[in-house]
Amino acid sequence: MKEVNWGIIGCGDVTEVKSGPPLYKVDNSNLVAVMRGNKALVRDYASRHKVPHYYTDADDLINDPRVNVVYIATPPDTHCEYTLRVAAAGKPVYV
């Protein structure tokens, strides 16, 4: 994999300054899509971080062909569900 094209499921406070920016500041790493259930909040996040694609449905992000790795940053009680969905799509997942 020459380029890592990340998608984040759950772009909230943790990804705002701690774990989100490194995904697009490291060489050969791009943040190409984010997902959050609230459309206004995910659109704002995408705009501020210059992320070209945003979703309110996790499956749309998981199935986006531009995303080749998914970072799950949701509350812990949803980690297993999202991990299994990403794995079923054949993509690496970072939890």
Specify the CATH superfamily of domain 4-94. NAD(P)-binding Rossmann-like Domain (3.40.50.720)
Instruction: Report yes or no: 11 and 36 within 8 Å, Cβ to Cβ.
Output: yes
**pLDDT tier at 17, thresholds 50, 70, 90:** confident
Please name the residue ranges forming H helices in 11-91: 13-14, 21-25, 39-48, 58-62, 79-88
Please say if the pLDDT value at position 1 is more than 80. no
Where do the domains of the chain lie?
4-94
Please say if the pLDDT value at position 69 is more than 80. yes
Tokens of 95: 């939890």
State pTM to two decimals.
0.94
What confidence tens digit (pLDDT) does each residue in 29-45 have? 999 999 999 999 999 99
